[in-house]
Structure 1
Amino acid sequence: MQPQVDDIKYPVISIIVPVKNGERTIARCIESIRALSYPRFELIAINDGSTDGTAAILRSFSGDSRISAIETAGIGPSAARNKAIAHARGEYLAFTDGDCIVEPAWLDELLSGFNAVNFQRIGAVGGVQESPDDDTTFGKTTQQFMKAIGFITDYAKDGRNCDIIRATTHNASCNVMYRKEVFDKIGLFHEGMWPGEDVELDLRATMAGYTLLFNPKAVVRHYRPQNMAGFRRMMQRYGYAQAILVKEHGYFRPIQYVPVLTAAACVTSVIMAVNGYAVYLLAGCASILALIHGYFFAGTKRPLQHAMLFINTLIFWHCGFYSTLLNYNETTMRAFGGHQ
């Protein structure tokens, strides 16, 4: 049977949203998906062992035939996504999170990336992350900070200065769409990882010959940690993730060389201090921090707040990285895969 015009122009897209204890944001997430301009999609929400009102909120959308919910018992975001992939009927699989709001043209923009003429074997297209209008001041500051350091992390890209679809090595799992065939060929999300499972998947995809693209017109609005304690936990887990990736795949991202440079700097500092150059050491460290702050954050609206986030990132990211690197084993991996 010949495919219908709608099947070609509007292939079915499966949207997959894992959530745990997301009662604060999940309703807004689902309402934004229901308001998408794209006409042919299904939404699969995975309630992964929530203990708050998330399940009741998901049930309130049961009248929409496009929406289905899967209950899991705290298996972690990666395993939850994999469970949904097994149920998905779309030719394309789009992913976002329960603390995200998607723009009306989100799916249209992601799908348009697969038609980019200058690239071959396109496996995935991702987009930009912005702050919701009603996010806290701390959350918005965190989002700005994530973009400022994005060239190192390749996580929160800034699409304001360029609206051209371009190649990338990684798209965050809160704003990305894959051809379903990618999972058929390279496997599913690494269930022993979170966060970092999307980085690991994208590495396998590129090694298999797929091209990953970034379309800055595909926008989700992502709620960020509401306070410094939440930010520290997030950065510590990011450090965990990079250590696991280094252990399993070696060094392949710029951010993974940061601990090497830090260790070298610490050794140099000890040598200088022992030899009586402590004053020069302090002056040098202060100058380096000032240059980093000036380069990344001086032009932002909240440079002092960004400086505090930067210092906390250095401390807690490295704590997560080194503690995992030095204690890496199967127990670490099992603990690493679950929701926080």
Structure 2
Amino acid sequence: MVRISVVATVKNEASSIGRLLDSLAAQSRTPDEVVIADGGSTDGTLDRLRAERRFPLTVIEAPGTNISQGRNRAIAAARGEIIAVTDAGVRLHPDWLRHLLRPFEERPETVAVAGFFLPDPFTPFEVAMAATVLPERRDIRPDRFWPSSRSVAFRKWAWEAVGGYPEWLDYCEDLVFDFALYERFGPFAFAPEAVVYFRPRQSMRAFFLQYYRYARGDGKADLWRLRHAVRYATYLGLVPALALLSLQVHPACALGYLLGGFLYLRAPYRRLFRLWEGYPWPERLHMLAWVPLIRLWGDLAKMIGYPVGGLWRWRHLRGTRRLHGSTRLAPAMDPLP
């Protein structure tokens, strides 16, 4: 039988590590081993990991490492032929691993499998956050779905073939890894039933930092140029242009804001109407109000983070060209166009 290793990285996850470990212990398909890299926890996370006895667990202490470095260390130490990757802060469906492995069993030529994730909100604010930022299954095109490393599996030799996760990236590393696997081996098999439950950010401050870091990673890796350009053009061009037209041409031009708002918020509200079942109307009204604020706040975070990452990239490439005459950022994975 093929040996299966589950890997994850953690850092200061004392408040959530129990949910991950409990859900690993409850898997209908038990992993042959679990390898977790700790990036330098100081809050008791390591104590909780060391006390785990319900399944074979190897803990790698790697203080100062980023997520990519931690994952690569955990995968290098894993003995499984297939690596299933998840993340701190999630809760796994009891059949997560069984569903994630099914494409490998049904089609031996399968190299990588994309699982899925669903929101696990605890408060009305988190329901609004989930509706605003997390996709539904119906939003996904399986042949072009780039899985989060909250729920993905691949053959260890494929990880080696593409050079592992890009250690020069601290965020968006899983996307660059996805692209490398896709370019080398083709589309991921899609296993939407391989679900992990992900708790959304619990405050606007934490959400801003998350999206700032995501966008900074986009800038570093040179991802989604058009998407970011459209965002800047909308906020810095279209929005003020409509204001000017409504003042100097005709007030009816301001109706463009209504059309734009409808297009901008249609998908989040559609998701919200399915997520808020069971909540009383006063809390639903709060959710309705939070959605546009969350959307705007996230866009602001992205607009600040992206040029920071782009500046890092420009400086790094300039230094690389000067020292080595090359634009290569990683020895085994080159994200440059």
With over 3 angstroms needed to count, the CA separation of the structure-2 counterparts of 1:208 and 1:94, relative to structure 1, is same
Of 71, 81, 85, the residue aligned with 1:95 is 85
Distance 1:65 1:114 in 2: 23
Structure 1 residue 285 and structure 2 residue 272: aligned? no
Aligned twin of 1:123? 111
With over 3 angstroms needed to count, the CA separation of the structure-2 counterparts of 1:268 and 1:103, relative to structure 1, is closer
Distance 1:32 1:40 in 2: 12
Report the TM-score, using the length of structure 2 for normalisation.
Answer: 0.80
With over 3 angstroms needed to count, the CA separation of the structure-2 counterparts of 1:19 and 1:277, relative to structure 1, is farther
Aligned twin of 1:153? none
Kindly provide the amino acid, as one letter, of the partner of residue 290 in structure 1.
F
Distance 1:187 1:327 in 2: 22
Kindly provide the amino acid, as one letter, of the partner of residue 138 in structure 1.
F
| Structure (1/2) with the larger helix percentage | 2
Aligned twin of 2:20? 29
Deviation, 1:33, is 0.5
Kindly provide the amino acid, as one letter, of the partner of residue 261 in structure 2.
L
With over 3 angstroms needed to count, the CA separation of the structure-2 counterparts of 1:196 and 1:121, relative to structure 1, is farther
Distance 1:326 1:278 in 2: 41
Kindly provide the amino acid, as one letter, of the partner of residue 42 in structure 1.
E
Aligned-partner SS, 1:300: helix
Of 46, 56, 66, the residue aligned with 1:66 is 56
Report the TM-score, using the length of structure 1 for normalisation.
Answer: 0.79
Contact 1:82 1:189 in 2 (8 A): yes
Distance 2:28 2:219 in 1: 40
Aligned residues: percent identity? Answer: 24
Kindly provide the amino acid, as one letter, of the partner of residue 256 in structure 2.
G
Deviation, 1:279, is 5.3
Aligned twin of 2:277? none
Of 151, 159, 170, the residue aligned with 2:137 is 159
- 1:237-252 alignment, distance < 5 Å: 237-246=213-222
With over 3 angstroms needed to count, the CA separation of the structure-2 counterparts of 1:121 and 1:205, relative to structure 1, is farther
Structure 1 residue 190 and structure 2 residue 181: aligned? no
Aligned-partner SS, 2:298: helix
Offset from partner CA, 1:8-46 (integer Å, 9 cap, x none): xxx211111100000001122112101111144200111
Distance 1:107 1:260 in 2: 38
Of 10, 18, 27, the residue aligned with 1:19 is 10
Of 303, 307, 312, the residue aligned with 2:292 is 307
CA RMSD of aligned residues (A): 2.8
Aligned-partner SS, 1:24: coil
Structure 1 residue 201 and structure 2 residue 201: aligned? no
Deviation, 1:51, is 1.2
Deviation, 1:186, is 1.0
Contact 2:128 2:288 in 1 (8 A): no
Contact 1:138 1:225 in 2 (8 A): no
Total equivalences in the alignment? 301
Aligned-partner SS, 1:211: coil
With over 3 angstroms needed to count, the CA separation of the structure-2 counterparts of 1:38 and 1:65, relative to structure 1, is closer
Deviation, 1:115, is 4.4
Structure 1 residue 260 and structure 2 residue 229: aligned? yes
Task: Give the gaps of 5 or more residues in structure 2.
Answer: 274-286, 320-337
Aligned twin of 1:179? 155
Kindly provide the amino acid, as one letter, of the partner of residue 141 in structure 1.
A
Contact 2:27 2:97 in 1 (8 A): yes
Aligned-partner SS, 1:94: strand
Distance 2:239 2:202 in 1: 35
Contact 2:131 2:269 in 1 (8 A): no
Contact 2:269 2:291 in 1 (8 A): yes
Kindly provide the amino acid, as one letter, of the partner of residue 19 in structure 1.
V
Task: Give the gaps of 5 or more residues in structure 1.
Answer: 1-6, 151-157, 334-340
Deviation, 1:88, is 0.7
Kindly provide the amino acid, as one letter, of the partner of residue 318 in structure 1.
M
Contact 1:19 1:46 in 2 (8 A): yes
With over 3 angstroms needed to count, the CA separation of the structure-2 counterparts of 1:207 and 1:73, relative to structure 1, is same
Deviation, 1:224, is 2.2
Deviation, 1:269, is 5.7
Deviation, 1:139, is 2.9
Distance 2:162 2:3 in 1: 22
- 1:223-234 alignment, distance < 5 Å: 223-234=199-210
Contact 2:100 2:113 in 1 (8 A): yes
Contact 2:220 2:312 in 1 (8 A): no
